[in-house]
Structure 1
Amino acid sequence: MTQSDDDRIADLEARLRLDDPRFTHGFGQGRPRRPREYRRGRAWLAMTLALTAVVVGAVLPHGLLLAAGLVGAACAVNLFDTSHQRRLRQPRS
């Protein structure tokens, strides 16, 4: 490879290390991990809590809990959208 190709690869490696250190550390250890875009543990937790609030609010006639659960579910759906997160992290030209 030419020197410019080596520089580009080193630059990509440095950016990836800064962006997702857990992902790059996994490659160094021989145990690759999911990239950050595919880790959705917090999103599933938020969705579970919101849907639990919806069900409890519907079973017990409690409108405020039901409404809070619906709003929480709508907010949790946004955590699943990875394209929005990529747009936020892109540097502006």
Structure 2
Amino acid sequence: MSGTVQQQDQQLEAAILELLDGRAPAATICPSDAARAVHDGDDDGWRALMDPARRAARRLVAAGEVEITQGGRPVDPDEVRGPIRIRRSR
């Protein structure tokens, strides 16, 4: 893994946790929130960070930090398709 990709992965993980820290305990965020927080610019370049943001969320699930949800219910990160939300593990 290149240094840039690894750094970006760490930034996305940190952004997810920081965004959740700023919200109510049961609140959720969208992976796009983290992608926008990490993207350096005012354009829509954050969209290229969506898949990396979703992968960062999966790593945080594996670490026991967060849950990935759909329709308010936790889902298996390896099987989920479509829009997701991220919240702190309960």
TM-score by length of 1: 0.30
More relative contact order in 1 or in 2 (CA 8 Å, sep 6+)? 2
- Determine which structure has the larger strand proportion and give its number: 2
TM-score by length of 2: 0.31
Kindly name which structure, 1 or 2, has the bigger radius of gyration based on alpha carbons: 1
- Determine which structure has the larger helix proportion and give its number: 1
